[in-house]
Amino acid sequence: MQQKEIDRVIEMAWEDRTPFDAILYQFNLKEQDVITLMRRELKPKSFKLWRARVQGRSTKHSKKRNFEAGRFKCSRQRTISNNSISKR
């Protein structure tokens, strides 16, 4: 995995509304693989903060969501180019 892809996985893992299923779909990494990657790439304190944040968050797990499942981006976001939001 290239550094650019690792950075994107870390970014997606930190996002509240991006489920682990989206990471699995895009990068073929299961939740446990993401945890291992985060443990390896982040500082110990940052990893602990991330784990504490993710463990209680139902939006990170598609089956626990109470809103539209399968949506990986904001409804106001028109297009994605190089993982950045286009100007409005």
Q: What is the pLDDT of residues 23-81, one digit of tens each?
A: 999 999 999 999 999 999 999 999 999 998 888 777 676 565 555 545 555 555 555 55
Alpha helix ranges (H) inside the chain: 3-14, 20-27, 31-41, 44-55
pLDDT given for residue 19 in this prediction: 87
Given a cut of 60, whether residue 83 has pLDDT beyond it is: no
Q: Which residue has the higher pLDDT, 63 or 15?
A: 15
DSSP code at position 85: E
